[in-house]
């Protein structure tokens, strides 16, 4: 087998860690071989790859976009105590309780152990409130009742109209870091990650998927991977992958939109103490808070974006619990899709199982193909363990799962997408020529240079959108107004943009950023949007 | 303790320090009306220096008009409640003549084609249709028309202005365009440079000489040289002429992205000229409260506490839109900030903005604003003037999308003219 490695790394820090983020770009008609192919670079695929790698199995993880591009990157970042599920599904609740405890011990670097509150306000279902502590106890979930004075003392933003408060052990988790750390260790153990690699089909003979056909989304090149076992961990896209292999999965799609606040609102996770509904959870995430979510059944996975109606609904509902949410500034809205298992006849998505399903596809006539879908961020490790058990069983490998007991090593270097990372590095090795292109998020020229370089190494071309995806540019308070123009000019200076490509690039960039701010345009963000339109349309005429 | 605030009596209070506010104060002072102008000048610094009159209609077709007057005819027949439709065409002409004559006398002269829009090079390489162009930029209009041999200069460390970007973007239609990068004199030790200090520095003739010396070797066969807008703040024409003479070929400025000096020039020109014409400026202050008395209005003005009390017979409200603070939106509706005047709404928030930022149809929210009569009185919900001596001008008015129609300055100047004349007639 002949192939060459091509870097997909984002920063120079990664060069030291050679295996990580190196992309394999096979020459024509190259077949890669591995023991297990895992499809889907979300937290489930990352967890399975690590679990198998720890059992000595060689894996390739493929992802059509980027790490956590689906629901793993578009959620609250909530590590459930399990209390959310005590009234509905006690199995889910107990799984969350146990997995939450394991992760707090095994991956503390990814978790902020904030604790959580469940609060009910005037008008909420009193029977639900009254049953809650007993239901928690039955599932073994520790819960402590607080009186209103105590609750307001520890979280002064709560409404004065709260009628009941219980303290539980919810926590905040950084889903991006969690996936990165899992993948990092797997790569250290000899596995391979291929990003921007989309599965286009399977070659199936005698009840086996002999090979998987893929296409590099950046270069268009096609290649195949021969694996003894194939795991479909594509989340909401698992149905599409299964169809390519001639299998069926009964999945429904539920869109959930979330809002990011400008500042951190509360220290703890705040849950509404009522049956699961819209906008009933506020989770701290570093310096911001994340509020959500909605649950809207959708038929197609294209065009997943948050709407004005969802935003208003979320803000209106959540303000009953925390009045300040009515007035606070929101900086971004985003939406993800939950893959839910169940029949289409059920009307409320929330009554569908939030549990997971591992399908062996034996009934579909395939012996070396498995799908894992549904589930939650909190239970990703358990999902990985169960999947890896099935695969090991099929491969005749008897080594046990280690992820329950072996700590997850921190990956060290993080990427430029992490808020605050670029300024730290810039401060550390400041070069006088290294001027800031983005002042809101402090992204200097040198970061753009390293992104451009890594895109070159994968034979790609840099434009504003590609740089926006790989850095904090466009994600600050100016919504890309100034950094977009400065970065565009800089890309011409370094010969990355030619002819009138800059105009196209600017248009794509601002339209892309628009999706996440459009639902939030009142008060200050509306003023910012007006300034942006004055500059991009009024002055430059980019709409013409 | 009750503090005694200085009390100022005047005939007219102009609220707003953007284009419509300064034009109102100018026209009022020239008509002998004693005037106080109050407002934050934070918006005008974003101005490009170009004065649009009317460029695009209908916006959904993106139809660009060569002749702004014909564009106004088409616009006012299609959108009869556009503010332009309430102003006599002769008055728009007169307003421009009066405004431009003032600018000329104040040392910030403008050039225009009487009945034709000019085409300007923008820093991203796009071409903008506008009406009046500062004299220091006018040769750029000619250079673009003739596609003559032209050099664009950019400056090391000046972000957001790449001469290569301009030449690359325009080169298919303009092959004789070249670019070069220079270091501004005595800035080698600086990592970044900004247009304002450079512009101020060029008021010294030795700095102009040093800049010319650096530029001359790059000129070669070019018959024109374009610069980012850096030719001084107060004496831009003198600097432009001096540099042109030293360099030996025709030169011009291209607007830069904010923070730019083009808006600063307008701001500082008016701040020095208006007081000489008797306008009392209370800038960087807000109207905290307005109430009526029998002679007109009483305005409490200050930063956070009242510092001045202004008694005025009438008011021109030129407080702008959201950026200017004249309008404010919460999640449900758009309000007028000072009087809580009725605002023409454009439906629920989901309708305010299009899914696509650059949607050719524009965003509906830009059509919201104050409804007026032909005297530029804001109207109440019954369609009657709210107050006889309250007038409105500029971008706060409804039924216009100045961002997409390219009519911002034209609307500001013309509606200020109409509002001042209406005030004079009324009072």
User: pLDDT tens per residue, chain B (427 residues)?
Assistant: 455 678 999 999 999 999 999 999 999 999 999 999 999 877 888 899 999 999 999 999 999 999 999 999 999 999 999 999 999 999 999 999 999 999 999 999 999 999 999 999 999 999 999 999 999 999 999 999 999 999 999 999 999 999 999 999 999 999 999 999 999 998 888 888 999 999 999 999 999 999 999 999 999 999 999 999 999 999 999 999 999 999 999 999 999 998 899 999 999 999 999 999 999 999 999 999 999 988 899 999 998 899 999 999 999 999 999 999 999 999 999 999 999 999 999 999 999 999 999 999 999 999 999 999 999 999 999 999 999 999 999 999 999 999 999 999 999 999 999 999 999 998 8
Collect all residues of chain A within an 8 Å Cβ-Cβ radius of residue B331: 312, 315, 522
Collect all residues of chain B within an 8 Å Cβ-Cβ radius of residue A497: 165, 168
The alpha-carbon gap from A509 to the nearest alpha carbon of chain B, in Å, equals: 10
What's the confidence (pLDDT) of residue B79? 96
Best-predicted range by mean pLDDT (A190-204, A245-259, A427-441, B153-167) = B153-167
Name the B residues in 40-69 with CB < 8 Å from any A CB.
Answer: 46, 48, 56, 62, 64
The alpha-carbon gap from A515 to the nearest alpha carbon of chain B, in Å, equals: 7
Burial of A29 (0-12, 13-18, 19+ CB in 10 A): exposed
> How far apart, in Å, do the first and last CA atoms of chain A sit?
52
> How far apart, in Å, do the first and last CA atoms of chain B sit?
37
Name the B residues in 223-282 with CB < 8 Å from any A CB.
Answer: 255, 257-258
pLDDT at A151 over 80: yes
Residues with Cβ within 8 Å of A123's Cβ and at least 6 positions away in sequence, in order, are none
Closest to A497 (Cα-Cα) out of A465, A519, A474: A465
Interface contact flag, B162 A498, Cβ < 8 Å: no
Report the pLDDT averaged over residues A58-84.
Answer: 91
C-alpha B256/C-alpha B116 separation (Å) is 24
Collect all residues of chain A within an 8 Å Cβ-Cβ radius of residue B156: none
Report the pLDDT averaged over residues A80-100.
Answer: 92
Closest to A49 (Cα-Cα) out of A385, A399, A404: A385
pLDDT at A277 over 70: yes
What's the confidence (pLDDT) of residue A302? 77
- CATH 3.40.50.1860 describes domain B123-254: yes
Count the neighbouring beta carbons within 10 Å of the beta carbon of residue A367.
Answer: 13
Interface contact flag, B169 A499, Cβ < 8 Å: yes
Residues with Cβ within 8 Å of A335's Cβ and at least 6 positions away in sequence, in order, are A74, A255, A256, A257, A258, A304, A305, A306, A310
Report the pLDDT averaged over residues A68-84.
Answer: 91
A476: left (phi over 0), alpha (psi -120 to 50) or beta: beta
Collect all residues of chain A within an 8 Å Cβ-Cβ radius of residue B357: 510-511, 513-514, 518, 532-533, 536
User: What is the number of CB-based contacts under 8 A between chain A and chain B?
Assistant: 152
Residue A63, helix vs strand vs coil:
coil
Collect all residues of chain A within an 8 Å Cβ-Cβ radius of residue B322: 526-527, 530
Question: Which of the 8 DSSP states describes residue B154?
Answer: E
Interface contact flag, A538 B124, Cβ < 8 Å: no
Extract the tokens encoding B189.
Answer: 């030790």
The alpha-carbon gap from B319 to the nearest alpha carbon of chain A, in Å, equals: 14
The alpha-carbon gap from A538 to the nearest alpha carbon of chain B, in Å, equals: 4
Residues with Cβ within 8 Å of B221's Cβ and at least 6 positions away in sequence, in order, are B149
- CATH 3.50.50.60 describes domain B7-106+264-426: yes
Residue among B346, B357, B362, B365 with most chain A CBs within 10 A, to mutate: B357
Which CATH architecture group holds A78-172+253-341? 2-Layer Sandwich (3.30)
Interface contact flag, B350 A492, Cβ < 8 Å: no
What's the confidence (pLDDT) of residue A17? 32
Interface contact flag, B358 A482, Cβ < 8 Å: no
pLDDT in tens, A496-528: 999 999 999 999 999 988 988 999 999 999 999
pLDDT at A157 over 60: yes
Collect all residues of chain A within an 8 Å Cβ-Cβ radius of residue B165: 488-489, 492-493, 497, 502
Interface contact flag, B124 A493, Cβ < 8 Å: no
Q: Which value, to the nearest 10 degrees, does the dihedral of the CA atoms of residues A40, A46, A49, A53 take?
A: 160
Collect all residues of chain A within an 8 Å Cβ-Cβ radius of residue B229: none
Closest to A335 (Cα-Cα) out of A218, A196, A236, A199: A236
Q: Does A511 touch chain B (CB under 8 A)?
A: yes
Q: ipTM value of the model?
A: 0.96
What's the confidence (pLDDT) of residue A382? 96
Residue among A333, A506, A534, A542 with most chain B CBs within 10 A, to mutate: A534
| Weakest mean pLDDT among A141-145, A422-426, B375-379 | A422-426
Interface contact flag, A499 B171, Cβ < 8 Å: yes
C-alpha B342/C-alpha B335 separation (Å) is 7
pLDDT in tens, A209-249: 999 999 988 778 899 999 999 999 999 999 999 999 999 88
Extract the tokens encoding A421.
Answer: 């990372």
Q: Give the residue from chain A lying closest to B190, CA to CA.
A: A432
Please give the helix or strand (H or E) that residue B269 lies within, else none.
helix B261-276
Query: Do A492 and B164 touch, CB atoms closer than 8 A?
Result: yes
Q: Does A518 touch chain B (CB under 8 A)?
A: yes
Residue boundaries of the structural domains of chain B? 7-106+264-426, 123-254
What's the confidence (pLDDT) of residue A422? 57
- CATH 1.10.579.10 describes domain A16-70+176-250+355-395: no
Residue among A432, A480, A538 with most chain B CBs within 10 A, to mutate: A538
Please give the helix or strand (H or E) that residue B366 lies within, else none.
none
Name the A residues in 414-433 with CB < 8 Å from any B CB.
Answer: 432-433
Residues with Cβ within 8 Å of A390's Cβ and at least 6 positions away in sequence, in order, are A358, A360, A370
What's the confidence (pLDDT) of residue A21? 36
Closest to A173 (Cα-Cα) out of A315, A305, A264, A77: A77
Interface contact flag, B126 A541, Cβ < 8 Å: yes
Closest to A210 (Cα-Cα) out of A193, A192, A225: A225
What's the confidence (pLDDT) of residue B224? 97
Interface contact flag, B126 A315, Cβ < 8 Å: no
Question: What percentage of chain A reaches a pLDDT higher than 90?
Answer: 62
Q: Which value, to the nearest 10 degrees, does the dihedral of the CA atoms of residues A14, A17, A21, A24 take?
A: 130
Query: Do B53 and B350 touch, CB atoms closer than 8 A?
Result: no
Please give the helix or strand (H or E) that residue B219 lies within, else none.
helix B205-219
Burial of A156 (0-12, 13-18, 19+ CB in 10 A): exposed
Give the position of tokens 């303790």: B1
Where does chain A hold its CATH 3.50.50.60 domain(s)?
Answer: 16-70+176-250+355-395
C-alpha B368/C-alpha B335 separation (Å) is 10
Where does chain A hold its CATH 3.30.9.10 domain(s)?
Answer: 78-172+253-341
Extract the tokens encoding A468.
Answer: 């926006």
Query: Do A325 and A318 touch, CB atoms closer than 8 A?
Result: yes
C-alpha B82/C-alpha A189 separation (Å) is 69
pLDDT at A350 over 50: no
């Amino acid at each position: 087998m002949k192939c060459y490695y091509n870097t997909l790394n984002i920063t120079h820090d990664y060069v030291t860690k050679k295996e990580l983020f190196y992309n394999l770009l096979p020459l024509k008609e190259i077949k890669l071989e591995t023991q297990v192919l895992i499809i889907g670079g979300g937290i489930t695929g990352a967890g399975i790859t690590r679990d198998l790698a720890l059992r000595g199995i060689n894996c390739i993880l493929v992802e059509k976009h980027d790490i956590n591009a689906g629901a793993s990157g578009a959620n609250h970042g909530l590590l459930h105590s399990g209390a959310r599920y005590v009234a509905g599904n006690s199995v889910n609740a107990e799984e969350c309780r146990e997995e939450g405890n394991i992760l707090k011990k095994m991956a503390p670097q990814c978790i902020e152990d904030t604790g959580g509150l469940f609060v009910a306000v005037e008008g909420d279902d009193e029977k639900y409130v009254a049953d809650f502590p007993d239901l928690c106890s039955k599932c073994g979930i520790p819960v402590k009742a607080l009186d209103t004075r105590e609750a307001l003392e520890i979280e002064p933003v709560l409404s004065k109209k709260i009628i009941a408060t219980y303290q539980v052990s919810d926590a905040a988790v950084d889903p991006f870091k969690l996936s990165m750390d899992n993948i990092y260790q797997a790569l250290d153990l000899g596995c391979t990650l291929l990003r921007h690699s989309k599965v286009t089909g399977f070659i199936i003979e005698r009840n086996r998927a002999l090979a998987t056909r893929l296409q590099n989304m950046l270069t268009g090149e096609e290649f195949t991977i021969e694996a003894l076992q194939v795991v479909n961990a594509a989340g909401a896209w698992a149905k599409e992958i299964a169809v390519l292999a001639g299998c069926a999965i009964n999945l429904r799609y539920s869109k959930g939109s979330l809002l990011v606040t400008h500042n951190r609102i509360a220290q703890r996770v705040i849950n509404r103490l009522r049956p699961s509904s819209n906008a009933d959870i506020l989770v701290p995430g570093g310096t911001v808070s994340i509020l959500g979510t909605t649950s809207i059944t959708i038929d197609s996975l294209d065009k997943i974006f948050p709407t004005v109606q969802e935003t208003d609904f979320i803000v209106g509902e959540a303000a009953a619990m925390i009045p300040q949410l009515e007035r606070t500034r929101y900086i971004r809205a985003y939406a993800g899709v939950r893959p839910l298992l169940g029949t289409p006849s059920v009307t409320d998505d929330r009554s569908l199982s939030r549990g997971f399903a591992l399908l062996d596809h034996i009934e579909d006539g395939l012996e070396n193909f498995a799908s894992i879908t549904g589930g939650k961020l909190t239970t990703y490790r358990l999902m990985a363990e169960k999947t890896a058990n099935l695969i090991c069983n099929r491969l005749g490998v008897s080594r046990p799962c280690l992820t329950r007991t072996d700590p997850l090593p921190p990956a060290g270097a993080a990427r430029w997408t992490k808020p605050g990372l670029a300024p730290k590095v810039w401060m550390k090795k400041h070069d006088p020529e290294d001027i800031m292109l983005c002042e809101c998020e402090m992204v200097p020229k040198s970061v753009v240079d390293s992104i451009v370089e890594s895109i070159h190494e994968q034979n790609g071309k840099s434009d504003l959108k590609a740089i926006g995806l790989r850095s904090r540019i466009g994600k600050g308070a100016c919504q890309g107004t100034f950094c977009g123009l400065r970065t565009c000019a800089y890309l011409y200076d370094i010969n990355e943009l030619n002819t009138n490509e800059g105009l196209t690039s600017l248009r794509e960039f601002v339209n892309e950023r628009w999706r996440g701010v459009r639902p939030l345009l009142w008060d200050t963000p509306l003023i910012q949007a007006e300034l942006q339109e004055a500059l991009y349309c009024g002055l430059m005429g980019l709409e013409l | 303790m009750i503090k005694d605030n200085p009390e100022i009596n005047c005939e007219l209070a102009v609220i707003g320090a953007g284009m419509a506010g300064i034009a109102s104060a100018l026209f009022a002072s020239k008509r002998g009306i004693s005037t106080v102008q109050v407002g934050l000048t934070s918006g005008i610094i974003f101005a490009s220096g170009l004065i649009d009159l009317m460029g695009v209609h209908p916006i959904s077709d993106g139809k660009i008009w060569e002749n702004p007057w014909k564009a106004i005819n088409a616009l006012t027949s299609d959108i009869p409640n556009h503010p332009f439709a309430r102003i006599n065409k002769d008055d728009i002409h007169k307003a421009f003549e009066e405004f431009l004559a003032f600018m000329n006398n104040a040392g910030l002269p403008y050039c225009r084609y009487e009945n034709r829009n000019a085409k300007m090079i923008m820093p991203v390489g796009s071409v903008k249709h506008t009406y009046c162009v500062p004299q220091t930029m006018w040769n750029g209009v000619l250079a673009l028309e003739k596609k003559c041999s032209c050099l664009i200069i950019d400056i090391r460390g000046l972000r957001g202005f790449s001469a290569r970007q301009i030449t690359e973007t325009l080169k298919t239609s303009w092959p004789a365009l070249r670019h070069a990068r220079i270091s501004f004199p005595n800035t080698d030790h600086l990592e970044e440079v900004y247009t304002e200090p450079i512009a101020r520095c060029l008021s010294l003739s030795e700095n102009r000489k040093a800049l010319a010396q650096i530029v001359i070797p790059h000129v070669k066969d070019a018959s024109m040289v374009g610069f980012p807008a850096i030719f001084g703040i107060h004496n831009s024409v003198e600097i432009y002429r001096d540099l042109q003479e030293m360099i030996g070929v025709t030169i011009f400025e291209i607007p830069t992205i904010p923070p730019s000096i083009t808006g600063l020039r307008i701001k500082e020109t008016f701040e020095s000229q208006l007081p000489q014409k008797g306008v009392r400026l209370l800038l960087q202050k807000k109207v905290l409260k307005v109430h009526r008395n029998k002679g007109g209005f009483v305005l409490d003005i200050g930063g956070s506490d009242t510092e001045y009390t202004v008694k005025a017979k009438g008011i021109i409200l030129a407080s702008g839109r959201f950026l200017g603070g004249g309008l404010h939106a919460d999640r449900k509706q758009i309000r007028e900030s000072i009087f809580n005047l009725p605002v023409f709404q454009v439906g629920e928030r989901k309708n305010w903005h299009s899914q696509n930022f650059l949607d050719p149809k524009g965003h509906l929210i830009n059509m919201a604003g104050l409804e007026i009569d032909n005297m530029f009185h804001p109207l109440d919900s019954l369609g009657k003037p709210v107050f006889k001596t309250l007038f409105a001008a500029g971008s706060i008015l409804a039924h216009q999308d100045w961002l997409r129609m390219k009519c911002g300055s034209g609307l500001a100047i013309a509606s200020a003219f109409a509002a001042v004349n209406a005030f004079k007639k009324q009072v």
